[in-house]
Structure 1
């Protein structure tokens, strides 16, 4: 247990930050799932718009320090490859 006032305050701050970061990570996963769902359904236009929205959310979470930039780059690359493959398969 925290013994000093500073330590008690840090416990409260850490819990508040943990909950906020969890919310941001959840939002990130939700947007990624939206792209994957659109790809699975086969709606190319919806997949493209979902990809744009997901890339924005991914970049914002990296900027806030919640996600690592390499994870973001890897995720965006994989999602865009899936959306691009949809376009190639449709032709």
Structure 2
């Protein structure tokens, strides 16, 4: 069976068969940056009408930590690209 270009393919060493990862979303693309971020932050109970202050503090701390990590990776990537272009 044909595998779409750009798909992730692996060889199953036990069976010898090629396995392709199917696209996760309806439009045929993988997860967007926002979808990955939501998964990383965890599920939120949207049916709940109220949250305790402790729940809100934990959620805010987790969001800040995640954004800080994303900024660090982005900054490191930019520095790496600058160093590569200077050589």
What TM-score results when the alignment is normalised by the length of structure 2? 0.37
Select the structure of larger CA radius of gyration.
Answer: 2
Q: Greater RCO between the two (CA within 8 Å, min separation 6)? A: 1
What TM-score results when the alignment is normalised by the length of structure 1? 0.36
Structure with the largest fraction of helix: 1
Structure with the largest fraction of strand: 2
